[in-house]
Amino acid sequence: MFNLNSVKNDVFGGITAAVVALPLALAFGVASGAGAMAGLYGAIILGFFASLFGGTSTQISGPTGPMTVVTATAIATFPNDFESVVLVIFLAGIIQISLGIVKIGKWVKYIPYPVISGFMSGIGIIIIVLQINPFIGVDSYGSVIQTLVELPNSLKMANFQSLIIASITLAIMFLTPKSITKYIPSALIALVLITYLTIYMEYSIQTIGEIPMGLPTIHIPTTIDLLKLDTIITLAITLALLGAIDTLLTSVVADSMTKTKHKPNQELVAQGIGNSICSLFGAIPGAGATMRTVINIKSGGTTRISGMVHALTLLIIVLFLAPLASKIPLAVLSGILIKVGFDILDYKFLKIINKVTKQDLLIMITVFLLTVFVDLIMAVGAGITFASILAIYKISKRTRMITSHAKNKVSFDIDVENKDIKILKIDGSLFFGTASILDRKIDKIKPDTKYVILNCLNVSMMDLSAIFMIEEIIQKLDEKQIKVILLLRHSYRRKVLKIDTNKVFSNTLIFNNIDSAVNAIQKNEYKE
């Protein structure tokens, strides 16, 4: 049914998201090595088609940090051979479409949290390190190791004017009050003010350069070098999987804000369509962008119209304001990207890094180091394999210790007899492979429920992914005015309280037997 107010909110949300996306698209385009225009058209094409066909109604898609890092790798791998780069991006899109068709989307949620944490923090560090040279006004390298090795020489050749411009940009990005960024993003403030300052001061520093007006030309690969095919396929798989993970994690964030459920497989097909079309126009690929999606939702966006408006707004800017963008200094974009790199770091894990188990810490550090210094896909693959082996070891170890009649699997039972109180009993191991089942069971609880007793007394193992899932469940139910009471053994109680930086568990009633939980409800120990 047509709703004029909803359309108005979608238009406003889309325009606001476009304002946020503009400087980021320019920066990611330049950082990839394909140019600012490639970044802008990546945001336009993917943003439009991912919204048109997507399974997350409020998601804004476009170039992201992780996807830009892999694209830069592809461009560095095939110098002066843009056809091979186009083929990498095109195949990545086709692979994403295939992943959606065979319904792989739902499996992304089974990736252990320490793997995601190490991966995202690694991407953040890559972006920061690779922007050091543009920050000081010297030619950049496509390799983290080479950038660090050559850093002493780069510092000797530093351009003082670039350093000033980049430093002021970074200060604006970090220090602009939230009361201002709520209306105008700090990246846009820096982009406009510092570009004007550079022109006014007549600084001689590198800029984006000429950006052609009008629509881009079509790039269709006419030949395939079979000797390069293995590298092309490897990079395509990397882009596809990375884009899938990046996108579906953003979809989960959108779900938590809008209280909706995204369609992961439909979203993957839409992302694949968008990225495939991006390749044909020489645009860089992307994924669901968390910050732009959050801005869209907070600005009123509720349907896929907002994402399409975001794309069309960027198209209008490209067609009519491209000459102005050509004067933007690269140092400004480096300052913006360094802030993006810091934002990608997983502070949630870093805050509790000295409190997590040695196994979780080892997985996170392994994935982090592999991401930064070796290979992105190898990092995720090694992390998942490592986590799986440790999980299986823990389960088998616990199984030998329990009585013979105990189940060697996780079971979730909901007591539906009482209208106000629901009891969810968990037997077995609660870890990254089973935590999502718990979330699905919680979604089946009716809204007229007042209390949920989460009985984990028979849980034989609980990892970090499970703890964070329980934390999200408590917050989700609290928003529905449903109170959660946890039943935990003393050892697990100490474990969750030890890493409770958000005070979610501290504000939750935790007991070690069902009678105490029922008595607490009867005495109304949860004060309204």
In single-letter form, the type of residue at position 90 comes to F
The answer to whether 129 and 271 are in contact (CB under 8 A) is no
Average pLDDT over residues 481-498: 89
Please tell me the distance from the alpha carbon of residue 386 to that of residue 432, in angstroms, as a whole number: 13
Residues 187, 203: Cα–Cα separation, whole Å:
21
pLDDT digits (tens, 9 = 90+) for 205-253: 888 777 666 677 787 777 777 778 888 998 999 899 889 988 987 887 7
pLDDT band at 108 (very low <50, low <70, confident <90, very high): low
pLDDT for the residue 461: 80
The percent of residues in the chain predicted with pLDDT above 70, rounded, is: 90
Q: pLDDT confidence of 441, banded at 50, 70, 90?
A: confident
Q: With contact defined as beta carbons under 8 Å apart, do 268 and 97 qualify?
A: yes
* Cα distance between residue 310 and residue 20, in whole Å: 10
CA-based R_g, the chain, Å:
25
Interaxial angle between packed helices 82-101 and 65-77, expressed in degrees from 0 to 180 and rounded to the nearest 10? 140
Taking the model in full, what pTM does it have? 0.72
**pLDDT above 90 for 283:** yes
Asked if the model's pLDDT at residue 62 lies above 50, the reply is yes
Tokens of 275: 């990225």
pLDDT, position 527? 53
Three-state DSSP class for 413? strand
Q: What is the pLDDT of residues 141-176, one digit of tens each?
A: 777 888 899 999 999 998 899 999 999 999 998 998
pLDDT score for 182: 76
Of 457, 381, 384, 402, nearest to 425 (Cα)? 457
Angle at 106 between CA 105 and CA 108, to 5 degrees: 75
Query: Is pLDDT of 42 > 90?
Result: yes
Q: How far apart are CA 72 and CA 64, in angstroms?
A: 12
Mean of the pLDDT values across residues 361-390?
83
Tokens of 354: 């000295």
Q: What is the mean pLDDT of residues 276-299?
A: 88
